[in-house]
Amino acid sequence: MTRALFISLVSCLLVAKQAKSQVLGRCAVAKLLFEEGADGFEGYYLSDWLCLAFVESGFNISKINENADGSFDYGIFQINSHYWCNDYRSHSENLCHVDCQELLNSNLLSAINCAKRIVSGGGGMNNWIEWKLHCLGRPLAHWMTGCHL
Ligand SMILES: *[C@@H]1O[C@H](CO)[C@@H](O)[C@H](O)[C@H]1NC(C)=O
């Protein structure tokens, strides 16, 4: 293989990898949450949702994390495949009736809908350990600073 061909192949692969992982802006996430009726849902406001999304994924909608028990966490809210979505590689209750890959969609529709289901099932956002550690009981209004919806 020529050197030039090799280099263009490698840069193609790099571009493909970048396109796959996507980090959304804070206010873009706020807008999508607002449009899906998350503001005030079960007593949680946009600033609560933003804190949750940030501590779970840093707004990386492509984030996938493997857990010690063999399950995986998907997307902006790091939704777990053992209980909430089906990833066809580990046992799942699939309580959100959704394909885990769909939770990575950049329109956030499935991710927000599944997160709402988790929030309304008892315990609210306390279902997310990172929420309890970093968001619960803290002032969160600053998360909405500069976001005009
Ligand atoms: C987003 O998550 C994907 C999958 O976990 C990871 O490969 C990628 O590096 C992350 N992107 C950023 C900017 O952290």
Which residue has its alpha carbon closest to ligand 1 atom 7?
21
Show which residues are catalytic: 56, 73
What atom of ligand 1 comes closest to residue 65's alpha carbon? 5
Whether residue 49 contacts residue 33, with contact meaning beta carbons closer than 8 Å, is answered with yes
Q: What is the pLDDT of residues 75-115, one digit of tens each?
A: 999 999 999 999 998 789 999 999 999 999 999 999 999 99
Q: What is the pTM of this model?
A: 0.87
Amino acid 11: pLDDT: 44
Amino acid 21: pLDDT: 65
Q: Which residue has the tokens 């997310």?
A: 128
Q: What is the mean pLDDT of each run of 10 residues along the chain (149 residues)?
A: 42 46 94 98 98 98 96 97 94 96 98 98 96 98 96
What atom of ligand 1 comes closest to residue 62's alpha carbon? 2
Domain boundaries, the chain: 22-144
Amino acid 20: pLDDT: 56
CA distance 9 to 66: 29
Amino acid 10: pLDDT: 39
Amino acid 19: pLDDT: 53
Q: Give the residues surrounding ligand 1 with Cβ less than 6 Å away.
A: 21, 23, 60, 62-64
Amino acid 109: pLDDT: 98
Architecture field, domain 22-144: Orthogonal Bundle (1.10)
